[in-house]
Amino acid sequence: MSELIVKPAVNPKADGTVLTVTPESAGWEYVGFQVAKLAAGEKLSRESGDQELCIVLLSGLANVSTREQTWENIGKRMSVFEKIPPYSVYVSSSDQVQVTALTDLEIAICAAPGKGTYPSRLIAPEDVGVEGRGYGNLERHIHNILPEQKEADSLLVVEVFTPDGHWSSYPPHKHDRDALPDESLLEETYYFRVQPEQGFAIQRVYTDDRSVDETLAVRNGEVVLVPNGYHPVGAPPGYEVYYLNVMAGPTRTWKFHNDPDHEWLFKK
């Protein structure tokens, strides 16, 4: 298996965690990511420490509280493939968060370095920017949960729905150089869900010099690490693909560089 793919655990940990990516395990500096699955009544707690967190309710209902605030009975969708924007909670550094499941619940815990600049807050569905991107079989549906226009120190969080037979993160682009204003250095995780679940997505990760050049078959519930390089995604016919992206780097801005071999596609 490629070292760029992280598989979920067969048996959850005591707190419901089924998948964990840390800067140490990924071999990078900024992005951390976890997925937890809880049954109704179960709880998960986290101290944010020197990190800021974005808790994304992928599916199910929950009560979520930080040191100073509580949001009860939040959540709207029972599956990511309902395609409605999620509820999320931004958790500032030096805070804590507790999640109590009211139904079967799947959450993503997105993490990156924080400075405590902004208070913890609810990100409701109406706060999420919704857009379509691309054309023809490059068309996909975007939910901007925590884009650079919204308050955070490091985190960028977005979810993407790629219809069957379509491509996304395409034409291929990269953001692996700290070379602003032309390109920003951003590490990135892709958390995949596939419908029907027995399907797969295709993701290619490659660099200009092909020192990295991998084509990955990604199954439901797996994470792909993108430390550098271009990283397009394909959804095979018959299988709809969802992914949650988490990005962070030295500067909180998304400036990407297109693969010049495929840039002609933007002119169509």
> In the prediction, which pLDDT does 1 show?
41
- pLDDT at position 268 is 61
Average pLDDT for 21-38: 98
Note down the domain range covering 36.
5-266
Q: Give the mean model confidence (pLDDT) for residues 102-114.
A: 98
**pLDDT digit string, tens, across residues 165-174:** 999 999 999 9
Structure-token pair, residue 59: 């599916």
Residue type, 134: G
Q: Is 51 helix (H, G, I), strand (E, B) or coil?
A: strand
CATH of the domain at 190: 2.60.120.10
Average pLDDT over residues 28-35: 98
* Residue 109 pLDDT level (bands cut at 50, 70, 90): very high
DSSP string for residues in 142-177: EEEEE-TTS--SS-EEEEEEE-TT-EES-S-EE-EE
Residues 200 and 13: their CA atoms lie apart, in Å, by 25
- In the chain, % of residues over pLDDT 90: 96
Q: Judging by DSSP bridges, how do beta strands 240-248 and 156-162 pair with one another?
A: antiparallel
pLDDT band at 115 (very low <50, low <70, confident <90, very high): very high
80: helix, strand or coil: helix
Q: How many domains does the chain have?
A: 1
Mean pLDDT in the chain? 96
Judge if the upstream peptide bond of residue 171 is cis by omega within 30 degrees of 0: yes
β-pair partners for 131:
142
Give the CA count within 13 Å in the CB-facing half-sphere of 123: 26
Read off the pLDDT band of 93 (50, 70, 90). very high
Average pLDDT over residues 251-262: 96
Q: Which residues are registered as beta bridge partners of 13?
A: none
